[in-house]
Amino acid sequence: MLHMQDVDLKNKRVFIRLDLNVPLHEGKITSSERIDRAIPTINLALKKNAKIIIASHLGRPKEGQCTKNFSLFPVFKYLQKKLSGINMIFLQNYLQGISLKSNQITVLENVRFNQGETQNNEELSQKYANLCDVFIMDAFATAHRIESSTYGICDFVKKSCIGPLLYSEITTLKRIFDKSKHPITTVIGGAKVSTKFKLLSSLLKITDNMLVGGGIANTFISTFYSVGKSLYEKDFQEKAKQLYKTKKIFLPIDSLVSTSYSITSKAQKKSVSNIMPYEEILDIGEKTIQNYIKTIQQAKTIIWNGPMGVFEFPNFRKGTQKIAQSIANSNAFSIAGGGDTIAVIDLFNLKNKISYISTGGGAFLEFIENKTLPILEKLKNQ
């Protein structure tokens, strides 16, 4: 693949696809890790005297609609502070063309506000390509997605290359997994049930133990017991049953539940076999925490993606906190990835205790599975 550092970017219009999809609360960034990791790439483009366009998505807005809650403007303001002294502008309307200058940074509004972005629309991909001379893919966290700003643009732009962060991620992860020591324990949580289920069977081929929390755990539990109002996916129950037969999956045996979903909701301890129709599981319970910690302590390699519950709510934070701290205190080589996982690491100040932190979530898991990603294959053939 062609690398950014090997390309002459002087006075070139450069479209850099970054991952600036950071968590926001009331318009304020709660974890800047992904932005901070992207800044060296921006500095390299500045050093090469490029005319810089920065593009990213944020969240999952309804495509084609501009929604303030999903605006990249707070990210733009953060970048302005981090890159003080650099001329920067923020553009909401850019698909018909942009006037660019060397050593100026133009930050585009959320690409998912553009109709056709997630469907890899050909016309939209062409419009992105028309804005630039060189496309630089440096968004590892979205490298598994075939979308217009991450993949389709390559079909129309004059030159495409890989950025330093994406290159660093894939080479580091490949090196890690070529040398991982057993037992390997995988900790999987979070609410994105369907996206992760596709990868669990592949992870089960390399892992010795899989500790499950969040919405994914609820789907497994729902094959045995009622989970009330809890987040789970009925369409994946049969697949969950088949995966459970591997005997590698550890499920919660107790939980913290509530009758409402709110930051002020009260927690009640419950066995997973005794969830009422009006209750929903929001965290793993104390017995489950202790079971999971015992397995983590025996691991030589830990792969971690996702929280154990709704850690954003103080009353349902303990499970995620205890498991995160156990991973951090382990003697195992620990690999963590994903936006929510990074937010947990920041919240509990564990950054220096995790062996390797990846900016990707789904891409992180898919790369573990396939040792490649769609955009990497495309860039090889440019």
Structural domain that includes position 59: 4-165+372-381
Does 137 reside within a domain?
yes
Does 356 reside within a domain?
no
Instruction: Find the mean pLDDT for residues 193-214.
Output: 85
Does 106 reside within a domain?
yes
Q: What is the DSSP letter of 152?
A: G
Residues 148 and 193 occupy one common structural domain? no
Residues 189 and 330 occupy one common structural domain? yes
Neighbours of 36 (CB within 10 A): 13
The total of structural domains in the chain comes to 2
Instruction: Find the mean pLDDT for residues 317-333.
Output: 97
- What rounded mean pLDDT belongs to the chain? 93
Query: What confidence score (pLDDT) does residue 338 get?
Result: 81
Does 10 reside within a domain?
yes
Q: Which two tokens stand for residue 91?
A: 């553009």
SS3 254: strand
Instruction: Find the mean pLDDT for residues 61-87.
Output: 93
Query: What confidence score (pLDDT) does residue 304 get?
Result: 94
Residue 104 bridge partners (DSSP): 87
Given a cut of 90, whether residue 360 has pLDDT beyond it is: no
Q: Is residue 142 within 8 Å of residue 262, measured between CB atoms?
A: no
Instruction: Find the mean pLDDT for residues 95-116.
Output: 94
Residues 161 and 208 occupy one common structural domain? no
Lowest pLDDT segment from 140-154, 187-201, 353-367: 187-201
Q: Which helix (H) or strand (E) holds 249?
A: strand 249-250
Give helix 237-244 / helix 214-221 axis angle, nearest 10°: 90
What is the distance between the alpha carbons of residues 29 and 36, in angstroms, rounded to a whole number? 12
Residues 106 and 242 occupy one common structural domain? no
Q: Is residue 82 within 8 Å of residue 54, measured between CB atoms?
A: no
Residues 337 and 216 occupy one common structural domain? yes
Close Cβ partners of 343 (under 8 Å, ≥ 6 residues apart): 23, 30, 31
Domain at 101, CATH number: 3.40.50.1260
Residues 234 and 310 occupy one common structural domain? yes
Instruction: Find the mean pLDDT for residues 91-97.
Output: 95
SS3 281: strand
Give the Å distances, CA to CA, from 343 to 29, 76, 137, 139, 261: 10, 20, 24, 18, 20
Lowest pLDDT segment from 105-119, 165-179, 263-277: 165-179
SS3 193: helix
Residues 148 and 194 occupy one common structural domain? no
Does 170 reside within a domain?
no
Tell me the binding residues for (2R)-3-phosphoglycerate.
34, 112, 145
DSSP string, 308-371: SS-TTSGGG-HHHHHHHHHHHH-SSEEEEESHHHHHHHHHTT-GGGSSEEES-SHHHHHHHHHS
Tell me the binding residues for ATP.
196, 312, 338-341
Does 292 reside within a domain?
yes
Does 366 reside within a domain?
no
Query: What confidence score (pLDDT) does residue 371 get?
Result: 80
Does 363 reside within a domain?
no
What is the distance between the alpha carbons of residues 235 and 230, in angstroms, rounded to a whole number? 15
- CA torsion 237-242-246-247 (nearest 10°) is 40
Note the Cα 365 to chain centre separation in Å: 10
SS3 19: coil
Given a cut of 80, whether residue 206 has pLDDT beyond it is: yes
Lowest pLDDT segment from 196-200, 224-228, 346-350: 196-200
Query: What confidence score (pLDDT) does residue 381 get?
Result: 77
Residues 10 and 149 occupy one common structural domain? yes
Tell me the binding residues.
19-21, 34, 57-60, 112, 145, 196, 312, 338-341
What is the distance between the alpha carbons of residues 362 and 144, in angstroms, rounded to a whole number? 7
Instruction: Find the mean pLDDT for residues 124-138.
Output: 98
Q: Which helix (H) or strand (E) holds 217?
A: helix 214-221
Tell me the binding residues for substrate.
19-21, 34, 57-60, 112, 145
What is the distance between the alpha carbons of residues 375 and 19, in angstroms, rounded to a whole number? 14
Residues 329 and 187 occupy one common structural domain? yes
Given a cut of 70, whether residue 192 has pLDDT beyond it is: no
What is the per-residue pLDDT across 215-267, written as a single tens digit (0 to 9) for each? 999 999 999 999 999 999 888 899 899 999 999 999 999 999 999 999 999 99
Query: What confidence score (pLDDT) does residue 284 get?
Result: 98
Residues 137 and 107 occupy one common structural domain? yes
Range ranked top by mean pLDDT from 96-100, 189-193, 294-298: 294-298
pLDDT band at 193 (very low <50, low <70, confident <90, very high): low
State pTM to two decimals: 0.80
- Residues marked as catalytic: 34, 192, 339, 362
With the C-alpha atoms ordered 227, 230, 236, 241, is the resulting torsion angle positive or negative?
negative
Residues 141 and 246 occupy one common structural domain? no
Q: What is the DSSP letter of 3?
A: B
Residue 270 bridge partners (DSSP): 255
Residues 280 and 193 occupy one common structural domain? yes
What is the distance between the alpha carbons of residues 256 and 281, in angstroms, rounded to a whole number? 6
Given a cut of 80, whether residue 318 has pLDDT beyond it is: yes
What is the per-residue pLDDT across 7-65, written as a single tens digit (0 to 9) for each? 999 999 999 999 999 988 888 998 898 999 999 999 999 999 999 999 999 999 998 88
Close Cβ partners of 331 (under 8 Å, ≥ 6 residues apart): none
